[in-house]
C-alpha cells in the first residue's frame, strides 16, 4: 500500500479484482469504505477479464505490475480512481502506466497525486528506471497530470501523445528520533529517553523503511556508540559509509570514509540503487543540510522535554522549505513526521 497526503493506493489481489468488476460495492465492504456509484467501461472490463486478471493470477509474475491500484480518499473514505501498470519492467527498466479518476472526483488534483505516489513507489524498485504513458490529444487534463509530475513528451501519433519520466531514483533520507525540544541524545550520549515509547509489537514503520534503502551514511561517533554498547552493527548487510577524519580499514561492506561528504552523496545519487539512509549524528546532518543534500526527513518525536544534550539541528545552515508527506500519531504519544524537500519555485 502507498500513502500520500490525501490518498491510500491499494494494489488489488485476484479475489479483490473479481469484486471490483462486479461494481456491487462488495469490494467497498471488504475495505470498510463508503459505497460508491462507480461503473466500468466496456474497454476496461475487457482488459480486466482478458489481460489483467490472467496476469495477476499467474504466480510467476509480480502482480503489482499487472493489477489495478485503487485510490481511496482518506477524507471521503471512498474509492476515487485507479491506476494500472502495464506489465513488468522491460529490458530497459521501463514500465507503462494508465490511470483514471471517477467523474465526481475529477478536477481536484487527485490524479496528479496518484501518479506521484506510484512514482515514489517506483523509485524504490531497483528494476524500474523510467515510466511511460500515453494520452489522447483531446484529453488536456490527462496530459496535465503527467506534466505536473515532470513527464516529458517524447512523441505523438495522429490521436495520442507519448510521455516519459526518467527516474532520479536515489534519495537521501534522514530517519531519526528526537525529543519534543529537539534533542537526539541527553548529555554523555544518553539515549535512555527513547525507551519510553518502546513496545514489543511496534517499530513505527522502521522495518518497512529499511527495506527501501541499500546504502547508509552514519557518523563515526554514532557508529562507535553502537559498537561500545556491545551490539552488532545493524547495517552490516548494506553499503555503509562511516564518516570520519581518521582512516580505518574497511570491514566488509562497512567503509570508513574520510573524503568530502558532498562528493560521496553526489556519487551515490548518480548510481543505480535504492534510497540512502542517513542514520545521524547531528554533525553529519549539519554538513548534509549545509549543501541541501537531504531529500526527505522522517522524524519520530518522542513525548519528552529533555532540556539539554545534543540538538538534531544546529544553527548556521541555509533556510530550507519543506512539504509535509504524512503525519502519524501512536498510542505511546510518539508522532512521526515525514517531510520532503520542497524544490525551488
The pTM for the full model equals: 0.57
**Local structure of residue 23 (DSSP, 8 states):** T
pLDDT tens over the chain, length 345 residues: 899 989 999 999 999 999 999 999 999 999 999 988 888 888 888 888 999 999 999 999 999 999 999 999 999 999 999 999 999 999 888 999 999 899 889 899 999 999 999 998 888 787 888 999 999 999 999 999 999 998 999 998 999 999 999 886 689 999 999 999 999 999 998 999 999 999 999 999 999 999 889 999 999 988 988 888 887 888 989 999 999 999 999 999 999 999 999 999 988 887 777 899 999 889 999 999 999 999 999 999 999 999 999 999 999 999 999 999 999 999 999 999 999 988 654
Element (H, E) at 263: helix 261-270
The pLDDT value given to residue 345: 44
3-state SS, residue 310: strand
The pLDDT value given to residue 168: 65
β partners of residue 9: 2, 71
Cis peptide before 281 (omega within 30 of 0): yes
Q: Are 44 and 63 in contact (CB under 8 A)?
A: no
The pLDDT value given to residue 295: 92
Instruction: Please give the Cα distance from 345 to 216 (Å, whole number).
Output: 30
Q: Are 165 and 130 in contact (CB under 8 A)?
A: yes
- Reference 276, options 127, 170, 177, 128; nearest CA is 170
Q: Classify burial at 188, counting beta carbons within 10 Å of its beta carbon; exposed 0-12, middle 13-18, buried 19 or more.
A: exposed
Greatest distance between any 2 Cα atoms in the chain: 69
Q: According to DSSP H, which parts of 66-149 are helical?
A: 110-122, 140-148
The pLDDT value given to residue 315: 94
Tell me the domains of the chain and their CATH numbers: 2-166 (3.40.630.30), 172-341 (3.40.430.10)
Instruction: Please give the Cα distance from 184 to 194 (Å, whole number).
Output: 9
Q: Are 122 and 95 in contact (CB under 8 A)?
A: yes
Could you write out the DSSP letters of every residue in 173-197? EEEEEEETTSEEEBGGGB-GGGGGG
Q: Are 329 and 308 in contact (CB under 8 A)?
A: no
Amino acid at each position: 500500500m502507498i500513502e500520500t497526503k490525501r490518498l491510500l493506493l491499494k494494489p488489488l489481489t485476484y479475489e479483490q479484482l473479481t469484486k471490483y468488476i462486479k461494481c456491487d460495492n462488495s469490494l467497498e465492504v471488504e475495505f470498510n469504505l463508503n459505497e460508491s456509484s462507480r461503473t466500468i467501461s466496456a474497454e476496461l472490463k475487457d482488459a480486466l477479464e482478458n489481460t489483467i486478471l490472467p496476469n495477476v493470477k499467474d504466480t510467476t509474475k509480480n502482480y503489482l505490475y499487472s493489477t489495478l491500484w485503487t485510490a481511496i480518499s482518506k477524507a471521503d473514505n471512498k474509492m476515487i480512481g485507479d491506476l494500472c501498470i502495464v506489465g513488468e519492467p522491460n529490458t530497459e527498466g521501463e514500465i507503462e502506466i494508465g490511470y483514471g479518476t471517477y467523474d465526481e472526483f475529477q478536477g481536484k488534483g487527485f490524479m496528479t497525486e496518484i501518479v506521484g505516489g506510484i512514482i515514489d513507489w517506483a523509485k524504490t524498485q531497483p528494476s524500474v528506471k523510467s515510466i511511460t504513458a500515453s494520452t489522447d490529444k483531446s484529453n488536456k487534463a490527462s496530459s496535465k497530470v503527467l506534466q505536473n509530475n515532470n513527464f516529458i513528451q517524447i512523441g505523438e501519433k495522429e490521436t495520442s501523445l507519448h510521455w516519459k519520466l526518467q527516474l532520479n531514483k536515489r534519495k537521501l533520507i534522514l530517519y531519526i528520533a528526537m525529543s519534543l525540544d529537539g534533542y537526539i541524545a541527553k548529555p554523555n550520549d544518553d539515549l535512555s529517553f527513547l525507551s519510553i515509547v518502546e513496545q514489543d509489537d511496534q517499530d513505527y514503520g522502521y522495518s518497512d523503511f529499511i527495506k527501501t534503502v541499500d546504502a547508509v551514511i552514519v557518523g563515526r561517533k554514532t557508529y562507535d556508540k553502537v559498537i561500545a554498547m556491545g551490539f552488532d552493527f545493524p547495517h552490516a548487510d548494506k553499503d555503509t559509509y562511516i564518516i570520519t577524519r581518521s582512516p580505518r580499514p574497511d570491514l566488509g561492506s562497512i567503509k570508513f570514509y574520510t573524503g568530502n561528504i558532498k562528493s560521496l552523496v553526489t556519487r551515490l545519487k548518480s548510481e543505480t540503487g535504492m534510497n540512502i539512509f542517513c542514520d545521524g549524528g547531528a554533525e553529519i546532518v549539519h554538513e548534509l543540510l549545509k549543501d541541501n543534500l537531504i531529500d526527505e526527513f522522517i522524524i519520530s518525536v518522542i513525548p519528552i522535554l529533555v532540556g539539554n544534550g545534543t540538538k538534531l539541528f544546529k544553527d548556521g545552515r541555509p533556510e530550507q522549505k519543506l512539504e509535509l508527506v504524512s503525519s502519524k500519531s501512536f498510542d505511546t504519544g510518539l508522532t512521526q513526521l515525514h517531510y520532503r524537500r520542497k524544490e525551488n519555485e
